[in-house]
A and B are shown apart, each in its own frame.
Chain A
Amino acid sequence: GNSVTQMEGPVTLSEEAFLTINCTYTATGYPSLFWYVQYPGEGLQLLLKATKADDKGSNKGFEATYRKETTSFHLEKGSVQVSDSAVYFCALLPRGGYQKVTFGIGTKLQVIP
């Protein structure tokens, strides 16, 4: 079946540090890939997505590139802010069929001033 593997958290960084959260996936075919963010006390928000190999999703300074050869979709940001503190979920949606999104376990990011 489909699965998403995400690095365990929590990740603690100082403000302006570089962020990488690793995500690898297992799926048949070529799924769409997503990063969602969950701020404390809120629901999930779509952060960025990529729908085919070599696509780069980007939003709010975050980036992730769909790497088919390594089945990865790592999230990066060059300079994190305190306001980026949240839980980040990697997810995949199989191509075709219906909407059974598979999520990773989530990585909690804490950015300290």
Chain B
Amino acid sequence: DSGVTQTPKHLITATGQRVTLRCSPRSGDLSVYWYQQSLDQGLQFLIQYYNGEERAKGNILERFSAQQFPDLHSELNLSSLELGDSALYFCASSDRSRTDTQYFGPGTRLTVL
């Protein structure tokens, strides 16, 4: 158990809908990272937040957004969902902005029908 929690574990929704994925980092960790894992794209970095501020951006679509709240939990919002958004979404956390060790949560499996 990494100490990173993600909810929900599974999510099934329809095209065009909007969903919110939630992540709670390990106690004391200030950085949160979001990744998307799909069969065709592999594991891709989406975005990083550090202590409430956006720090790095990867291959995140404009339909997706994220935020980190004062209690350090983070939410990833996915809107206007398409079939191709079906994937595993992982959250990871680390204690500092530039540490090299990230701890991953169990993931949320999103299925768009």
Contacts and interface: CB of A to CB of B under 8 A. Distances in A.
Interface of A: 32, 34, 36, 41-46, 49, 51, 89, 93, 98-106
Given A98-B97, A99-B97, 8 more contacts: A44-B43, A44-B104, A46-B101, A46-B102, A98-B48, A99-B56, A99-B98, A106-B43
Interface of B: 2, 4, 31, 33, 42-45, 48, 55-56, 58, 90, 92, 94, 97-107
Contact of A99 (B4, B44, B90, B102): B102
A100 B45 contact: yes
A106 B55 CA distance: 26
A51 B93 CA distance: 19
A1 B43 CA distance: 16
A100 B56 contact: yes
B104 A43 contact: yes
B9 to A, nearest CB: 10
B43 A89 contact: yes
B106 A106 contact: no
A101 B33 CA distance: 10
Contacts of B48: 98-100
B105 A49 contact: no
A21 to B, nearest CB: 15
B46 to A, nearest CB: 10
A106 B105 CA distance: 18
9 contacts: A43-B90, A43-B105, A44-B43, A44-B104, A99-B31, A99-B33, A99-B55, A99-B100, A100-B48
A101 B45 contact: yes
A32 B94 CA distance: 16
Contacts of A103: 42-45
A91 B97 CA distance: 18
Contacts of B107: 43
Contacts of A102: 45
B43 A45 contact: no
